[in-house]
Amino acid sequence: MAALYRCQPLKSSNKIQERRRTHRPGLFQTKQIHGRSLAGFDTIPGVSQTHHDVIIIGAGGAGMFCASRAAFRGRTALVIDHARKLGGKILISGGGRCNFTNLGATSNQYVSQNPHFCKSAMARFSPWDFIELINKHGIAYHEKKLGQQFCNESAQQIVDLLKSECDESGARIQLNTQIRSIQQLSTDRGQARFQVGTSEDTYTCESLVIATGGLSIPKIGATGFGYDVAKQFGLKLVPTRAALDGFTLSRRDAEAFGDLAGLSVDTVTTTNGISFRENVLFTHAGLSGPATLQASLHWNKGDKVVFNLLPELDAFEWFVSKKKAKSNSLVKNHLAEHFPARLAERFYEIYFPSAAQFAQTGISNVPDAALKEFSQHLHAWTLVPSGTVGYSKAEVTRGGVDTNELSSKTMECKKVPGLYFIGEVVDVTGWLGGYNFQWAWASAAAAAAAV
Ligand SMILES: Cc1cc2nc3c(=O)[nH]c(=O)nc-3n(C[C@H](O)[C@H](O)[C@H](O)COP(=O)(O)OP(=O)(O)OC[C@H]3O[C@@H](n4cnc5c(N)ncnc54)[C@H](O)[C@@H]3O)c2cc1C
């Protein structure tokens, strides 16, 4: 990236000026405003330089949380974001109620090239630590299932909590600001280690935190900015891909199941040896719903996904029991007692052996072998998805900044002192269920204690 400024060594006595910045686009007013311009740089005439101890790029959950915690430690903190609206991703999370943490969160629910990386930060900032904050702000919440904590009212309450923590601590948030350049300054320039050129001003800081998230949902401001910064500083990246996402199907499977869109069924869904008991939702393009989203995190192109569509039942035993009871109902009608009727009909058409031969035959006259084969399809419906829907719908981005480049204690780059990466931009991706926000809080807290 082209640098906007030529830097000169700082004079021994830096002239620190308090400077109140008001009426700027997207600048939130806070109780204390920490901004101080730094002498010692040749600047473009008419453009001021503003120094903060910490600059955080990205005002999502990780960025705002890091800013407030750093500011509570007495650090001057500025969060910069190009979005017009604060916390866009939080607002759409958890169906509008934000699943802000999971009480069962451990490193086991995260996917990363280094599964141990997240342990230190997670141990030092637990789900209960975030709940303490939820209580401080009087937010009513409930557990939906499996440790997942949601706001009773609205995800807006989480955005308000983070904004209010920034206000209380004195951290500033500046929206609607494009980042033009990032430059590392040489170490003999006192506390200023980085210079950030933006559409509004040029800033310097001692610590620079990248909290720009992943590529998911570009229409609310997601970009690959964090990865570009990593590349600029020569850091390795783990290849990214859309995750917690729906599956698209081959043309043949889409034709077979596409008109079932809207039907949902309880399953145990397995891919690559990892299973989830969740619902699958049929869509026009393929499959969605929590089971599919979970599976997508562990799925690689070409892998099979296996769905047990009757996890509570041994289908063969149940069919045999109907047979013994001398039922004259068709197999598909018995299946419809456990499935939506349209789904039962479709599976019967496709997977029932010799469907035509037994089309009008009551279950008591169907051979056990045919019932067994059909049951196997119901307990292990196997598909090879053609892909996932992609970043336009995916909840997260898997991959990102290689954890080998970062300290697991502080999130600081080993090669670039003062540069930190937190939240989703890092190669740590949680399961569905509040784990990704817990990583955002924990990694932010780890960096905030060090910046
Ligand atoms: C539909 C949906 C629902 C979800 N629900 C949940 C849930 O209920 N529970 C859960 O745990 N997780 C959920 N997630 C995942 C969760 O939202 C993310 O993992 C989390 O928000 C990541 O936080 P972050 O701060 O790292 O990144 P983000 O929240 O993505 O914030 C990044 C910020 O950086 C800014 N930015 C990006 N590029 C630039 C740039 N070039 N210049 C300046 N600023 C930039 C963005 O505008 C954004 O404000 C959901 C995700 C989606 C998409």
Q: Domain segments of the chain: what residues?
A: 6-241+398-448, 246-389
Residue closest via CA to ligand 1's atom 38 equals 223
pTM for this one?
Answer: 0.89
Task: Show the DSSP H helices in 23-112 as ranges.
Answer: 61-72, 88-91
State whether the beta carbon of 395 lies less than 6 angstroms from ligand 1: yes
Look at residue 447 and give its three-state secondary structure. Answer: helix
CA of 92, closest atom in ligand 1 = 1
Instruction: In whole angstroms, give the CA distance from residue 275 to residue 273.
Output: 7
- Distance (angstroms) between ligand 1 centre and the Cα of 89 equals 5
- Distance (angstroms) between ligand 1 centre and the Cα of 220 equals 9
φ/ψ of 147, rounded to 5, equals: 80, 0
State whether the beta carbon of 83 lies less than 6 angstroms from ligand 1: yes
Q: Does CATH number 3.40.50.1360 belong to domain 246-389?
A: no
State whether the beta carbon of 198 lies less than 6 angstroms from ligand 1: no
φ/ψ of 247, rounded to 5, equals: -100, 140
Residue closest via CA to ligand 1's atom 3 equals 93
Strands (E), 169-316: 172-174, 179-184, 194-198, 202-210, 237-243, 247-248, 264-271, 274-282, 286-288, 305-308
Q: Which residues contact 182 (CB under 8 A, 6 or more apart)?
A: 1, 194, 195, 196, 197, 208, 229, 232
Its CATH architecture, for the domain 6-241+398-448, is: 3-Layer(bba) Sandwich (3.50)
Looking at the chain, the whole-number percentage of residues with pLDDT higher than 90 is 83
Q: Which of 65, 93, 181 to mutate to test the pocket of ligand 1 (most atoms within 8 A of CB)?
A: 93
Residue 24 is predicted with a pLDDT of 39
| pLDDT digit string, tens, across residues 147-191 | 999 999 999 999 999 999 999 999 999 999 999 999 999 765 567
State whether the beta carbon of 434 lies less than 6 angstroms from ligand 1: yes
Mean pLDDT lowest for which of 114-128, 197-211, 341-355? 341-355
Q: 140 versus 15: which is more confidently predicted? A: 140
State whether the beta carbon of 58 lies less than 6 angstroms from ligand 1: yes
| pLDDT digit string, tens, across residues 246-301 | 999 999 999 999 999 999 999 999 999 999 999 999 999 899 999 999 999 999 99
- Distance (angstroms) between ligand 1 centre and the Cα of 93 equals 9
Shared fold status for 6-241+398-448 and 246-389: no
Pairing relation of β-strands 381-383 and 274-282?
Answer: unpaired
Whether 29 shows a pLDDT value over 80: the answer reads no
> CA angle at residue 86 from 25 to 417, to 5 degrees?
90
CA of 424, closest atom in ligand 1 = 26
| pLDDT digit string, tens, across residues 295-349 | 999 999 999 999 999 999 999 999 999 999 999 899 999 999 998 999 999 999 9
Of 220, 223, 221, 172, give the one whose Cα is nearest residue 200: 172
